[in-house]
Structure formats: structure tokens, C-alpha cells
Amino acid sequence: MRTAKDGAATWKFDLMLALLAALIGLALNAATGFRGLSDAGGDNDSLLQLVEVRDLIGGQGWFDLHQYRMGLEGGFVMHWSRLLDAPLALGILAMSGLTGSMPLAEQIMQVAWPALLFWLTLFFTVRAARAFGGAGAVVPAVVIGAAAYQFVGIYSPGSLDHHNVQLMLTMASLSLLLEAPASRWAALPSGMCAALTLAIGMESAPYAGAIGALVALLFLAGAIMEKRIAGDFGLGFAGLSAFAFMTTIPMSAWGQAQCDAFSLVHFVVAGIAGTGLAAIASIDALSRTRQARLMSLGVLAIALCAAVTGLFPQCLAAPYANLDPRLKELWLDNINEAQSLFTLIVHEPARIAARYATPFVAIVLMALRLGRGDWRRQDTIVGTLLALAFLVGVWEVRGSTFSIAFAVIPLSAWIARWRARAETASSIGVALRLAAVWLVSVNPVWTGAAAATSVAFDKTAHAAGEADNDKACEKKATFALLAGLPDTGVLAVSNLGSPILAYTGHHALAGPYHRNVAGNLLALDALLGPAEGTRRIVEAHGIGLVAVCAGNFENSFLAKKSPQGFLAGLLRGSVPDWLEPIPQGKGSPLTLYRVRQAG
């Protein structure tokens, strides 16, 4: 029987092992000079996250989520949560107090924040692997988990956006739920983590919802411990949701339902689900028998469905169902992380192995386990989340980040079983099989195979070259000259919107965010239309500069869509007389034009 002292010892061991891996990763990043600080690599969200934190430190209101320097005059309201801005702002302020330099403080946080989240994500992954596959799965989880998280790229220096926080919280909720039967306190923070990841962003909603549904189904199936777990999880989920609602949404907006951000609809659903589950688990008459639990949970499910369909039917539509058709065609359909598996098969087949191989292998392992009939509570939880994340990844490639993380757990247990077999029955055959199991479980191995395969696909290799040129357009040094010019509005493609805000004091008309509808549409009108129409737009909206980066994919894509338009003309060297070219440094990928004042 495991004692509390034993449990504390394993926590410390796992924590230190994950810390060692995180420090090695930090050292590797340091050896490359923390490239992410000067080259965001196209990570527009992290750049804009930094801008929002700067705005908060500069005095913008806690409840004011406007991005005033993007879009039309007055900006637009972002759909992100202040829950992430708070620790980043506090960290930057603390570091600036210690160093006396705000830019240095920002750089420290840009390195420390993703490194901290890498450590915690890996720690919770190791805890989940231990609960799933025993002590033998710990070392494999550290190795293949660290490799996987390095590959997905959301923990690189400069990664400040919400994806790494959401993955960390999801893995925390999962690992705590796996440990809940042996730990009296684990279910409550598991529910809190599930609610917190939902409050930070909607990308993790499928996993937070699935974890809650699994808790309810396990409670329905029976076992005294599941009753306690359901009650604690429900309280944690509802309590944290209420806290997030009251602290991040002004009272004036409490009655507004925003489907793409945490708002009334999510608070109501979380409140009904969490408190309902806790009430059912705590009232003996509602939980004594399986029939009573089935009826009670059925009523709760009906209440949830009635609340959503009756009060918030608009949130049942696809996330971008109401997006302007032109923005869908010319922007959303060309975002890399929003592509489906089927699109990758046609256009970028080499990426499939890198993104889907290890989750697929893990799903096969889970299916074989189910076929053998030795299915356990842990298998239900991990298998469900893995299958769900894989399906989300089939729909949008960004979902593969979660499936890669969930896959580490069964893969680690698989390696542990073969290691144990190699120790008891040592032979060349077993050793070779163990080596093969390690190789197919490490995500970068598949990444390398995909890179090698891309050489055989001219189309894919060409696309990779375009991607490199695209990222070169978004390096910090590229915007040095632009930053030195007097602040004004800048007309550029949406991919340059976040770098313009992060590296300069200018206002960007376009940006890759679905709420900036008016600004993005106006930018498309200006870039795709005739030069005279563009002139009227820039004069009417105070645009003083035009920025073009020839290597940017969005530029070339839009130019092909409108070969006679303003942007295509600039790329061919046809500059209208109302624009004045600004001399650039040699080798700069960014071309700048000043709008001549009328008269």
C-alpha cells in the first residue's frame, strides 16, 4: 500500500526529473542565442500577446480588451483573456524593478515564461504516465515528452500566447484525474484546471468538456471513489468558472454571450454542469444506485442542452460560420494551423508524419489493449482524450498539438513494457524491438523522416522554401527602419500586422484575427483593387505608409488573386505617383512607401 510519504517522494522525483529536462532545453536555446526573441518565426499571436501586456502595463483598463492600434480607427475588441496577461505583466514589472530596464525585463520573461510552462507541462505528463504505466514509464515520458514539446514549438523563447498555458493546464487536469483515486485532494484542482484552460481560450474547450464528461460517466459506472471524485471535480470546475467570470468580465457585459471567448454562455454551462454534478454526488438519494445516477445525470444533461439551445443557439454553429465569405476564402482557408488533414494530404504530405504519426501509433496501442480485454479506468480517460484530440487534428492541424501530448502517455507505457521484457529476457531480438519501439515513439524521428521525404516532393520542398521566406519577413530587424519613422497607419497584409504593432509604434490596418473584420476587409479592398481606389482608401483612413514584403506568402497569394490590382503592381515594380519609395538597407526584405500628401 502506498503511503502519503511515498507519494510525496515520487512527486519530488518527477518534478526534479522534469526540471532537469527543462534546463537542458533552456541550455540548448541559450546556445542558439534565444533566436525567438529576434525572430518570432511567424508567431503572430505571441507578438500581439506581448503588445496587449504592454498596453496593460501602460495603463489600459483591465476590462478594456480593445486593440486600438489595429483595424479601423478605434480598433476592435480582442477575444483573449486577461488571465494570461496578469502573470506576464507582473513578471515584467518585477524584472524591470530588478534590472531597471523594461526591454530587458520583457526579454527575461520571453525566455522564462515558456521555459516554466515547458517544465510544468512535462511534469504533469510524467505524472500522467506514472499513473497510467507505472514507475517504468517515467523516464520514457521525460525523453519522448521533452522531444515532443520541443517539436510542437509552443515552448520556444518568445512564445507568450495562450496555447502553451492551455496545454499545460489540460495535462495538469488529466494527470490529477488519473491520480484522483489514490489522492483525496486531486479531483478538486483537476476541475479547476479544466475550467481555467477553458477561461483562457476556446481551443481547449473540447478537452475540458471531455474531461468533465468522463468524470460523470465514471461516476455513473460506479465505485465509491468516483462519487467523491465527481463531487470535488464539479465544485472545482464551477468555482473557478465563477471566479474567472467575475474577475475578467465587467458587470456591464455579464448579460452578453460571446461564443468565441469566455462569457455568459460558458459561465452558465460550467455552473450548471459543475454544481449539478457536485449536487448529485453529494445527495445520497440521487447517487445511491446506478439507476438513480443515470436518471439524475440524464436530467442534468437535458438541463444543459436546454440552456444552450434555448439561451445560446448561436453558439451551436461552427466557430467561423458567420465569418465574411471573402475573409474565409482569402485569409482563413490559407492559415497553416487551420488546415485539415485532407488538405495536407494534397498539398503538404510530408507534414503528415510529423504531426500525426505518434498519435496514430498510440491509438493503435490503445485499440490493441481494448481488444485484449484488460481495459482500465486510466485507459478510458487517456484513450478518450487521445481519440478526441486526433479527430480535432483531422479537422484542423492545430489539434494535433494536443494529440501529440496525449500520445506520450501510452507510448511511454509501451516502452516501459519492452524495457521490462529486455531486462528479464535479454536477447538481440528483444533489444532490436526495444530500439524500434523507442524510435517510433519519438516525434522528431518522424519529423526527420518527413523532412527527408519532402526532398522527393518538389511541391512540398518549394512550399518549405516559401515558408522560410515568409518568416524572414517577420524578423525584428526587418522592421528597424519602419520603427524609426513617425507613427502613422500602415497598409500591409494581415501577417505583418502583429510584427508592426510589436516592433514599431505604428497602427496596422490588417491583422490575422477574426474579429478585425472591418480592418481586414478594407485592407483587402486596398490591396486587391486598382491603385486609384487604394489611394482613396489610404487618404480616407489616415494611412501614411505602405509596407510590402515580396517573400511573404500572403503577398504572393493575393497578387495571384488580383493580377491587375494595386499589390500585384507594386510587386512588379509599378509604383503609382502618389507613393514615394523609402530607401532601405541592403538585403532588407521589406519595401516601404510613403504616401504623398495631397496638394
**305-316: pLDDT as tens digits:** 999 999 999 998
Give the span between the Cα atoms of 245 and 329, in whole angstroms: 34
Do residues 572 and 103 lie in contact, with contact meaning Cβ atoms separated by under 8 Å? no
491 and 576 assigned to the same domain = yes
Number of domains in the chain: 2
Grid coordinates in use for 77? 475588441
535 and 563 assigned to the same domain = yes
CB count, 10 Å around CB of 93? 15
> Angle at which helices 82-99 and 187-200 pack, to 10 degrees?
90
550 and 435 assigned to the same domain = no
> H or E element: which one contains 590?
strand 590-595
Q: HSE-up of 461 (CA within 13 Å, CB side)?
A: 8
Phi first, then psi: give them for residue 35, nearest 5 degrees.
-55, -30
> Angle at which helices 4-31 and 102-133 pack, to 10 degrees?
130
Give the span between the Cα atoms of 437 and 328, in whole angstroms: 42
Number of H helices, E strands in the chain: 26, 7
Give the span between the Cα atoms of 124 and 394, in whole angstroms: 25
> H or E element: which one contains 190?
helix 187-200
Dmax over Cα atoms in the chain, in whole Å?
Answer: 88
441 and 481 assigned to the same domain = no
> Does 363 map to a domain?
yes
Give the span between the Cα atoms of 160 and 43, in whole angstroms: 9
- Residue after which a domain boundary falls, among 435, 469, 503: 469
Strand partners, 39: 475
> Does 532 map to a domain?
yes
Give the span between the Cα atoms of 348 and 346, in whole angstroms: 6
Helix, strand, coil fractions of the chain, as percent rounded to 5:
70, 5, 25
Per the listing, cell 494527470 goes with 175
What is the structure's pLDDT at 578? Answer: 94
Strand partners, 70: 508
What is the structure's pLDDT at 4? Answer: 54
> Does 29 map to a domain?
no
**Per-residue pLDDT of the chain in tens (599 residues, 90 and over written 9):** 455 555 678 899 999 999 999 999 999 999 988 988 888 888 899 999 999 999 999 999 999 999 999 999 999 999 999 999 999 999 999 999 999 999 999 999 999 999 999 999 999 999 999 999 999 999 999 999 999 999 888 999 999 999 999 999 999 999 999 999 888 889 999 999 999 999 999 989 999 999 999 999 999 998 788 999 999 999 999 999 999 999 999 999 999 999 999 999 999 999 999 999 999 999 999 998 999 999 999 999 999 999 999 999 999 887 777 788 898 888 887 777 777 888 888 777 778 888 899 999 999 999 998 888 778 899 999 999 999 999 999 988 888 899 999 999 999 999 999 999 888 877 888 889 999 999 999 988 888 877 776 655 544 444 444 444 456 787 898 999 999 999 999 999 999 999 999 999 999 999 999 999 999 999 999 999 999 999 999 999 999 999 998 878 888 889 999 999 999 999 999 999 999 999 877 778 889 999 998 65
- Residue after which a domain boundary falls, among 403, 438, 469: 469
Give the span between the Cα atoms of 192 and 233, in whole angstroms: 8
Give the span between the Cα atoms of 391 and 403, in whole angstroms: 9
> Does 506 map to a domain?
yes
What is the structure's pLDDT at 339? Answer: 79
430 and 485 assigned to the same domain = no
In one-letter notation, the amino acid at residue 231 is: G
What is the structure's pLDDT at 540? Answer: 93
> Does 275 map to a domain?
no
Grid coordinates in use for 299? 436530467
DSSP secondary-structure letter at 543?
A: E
What is the structure's pLDDT at 266? Answer: 94
482 and 463 assigned to the same domain = no
Which pLDDT tens digit goes with each residue over 75-128? 999 999 999 999 999 999 999 999 999 999 999 999 999 999 999 999 999 999
511 is in which domain, residue-wise?
A: 473-595
338 and 457 assigned to the same domain = yes
Cα–Cα distance list, 393 to 389, 403, 466, 484, 492 (Å): 6, 7, 24, 42, 31
CB crowding 462-483: b at 16 or more within 10 Å, else e: ebbeebeebbbbbbbebbebbe
CB crowding 425-449: b at 16 or more within 10 Å, else e: eeeeebeeebeebbebbbbebbbee
Give the span between the Cα atoms of 269 and 286, in whole angstroms: 21
455 and 505 assigned to the same domain = no
> Does 511 map to a domain?
yes
Which residues, 6 or more positions from 101, have their beta carbon under 8 angstroms from its beta carbon?
none
411 and 346 assigned to the same domain = yes
464 and 540 assigned to the same domain = no
- Residue after which a domain boundary falls, among 443, 469, 495: 469
> Does 197 map to a domain?
no
DSSP secondary-structure letter at 544?
A: E
Give the span between the Cα atoms of 267 and 455, in whole angstroms: 50
Grid coordinates in use for 496? 505583418
Sheet containing 543-549: order of strands: 507-508, 489-491, 543-549, 590-595, 579-582
Per the listing, cell 523522416 goes with 449
Closest CA to 111 of 38, 42, 23, 36: 36
Give the span between the Cα atoms of 114 and 107, in whole angstroms: 12
Give the span between the Cα atoms of 424 and 302, in whole angstroms: 53
507 and 405 assigned to the same domain = no
Closest CA to 478 of 503, 451, 459: 503
> Does 455 map to a domain?
yes
372 and 334 assigned to the same domain = yes
Which SS3 state, helix, strand or coil, does residue 453 take?
Answer: helix
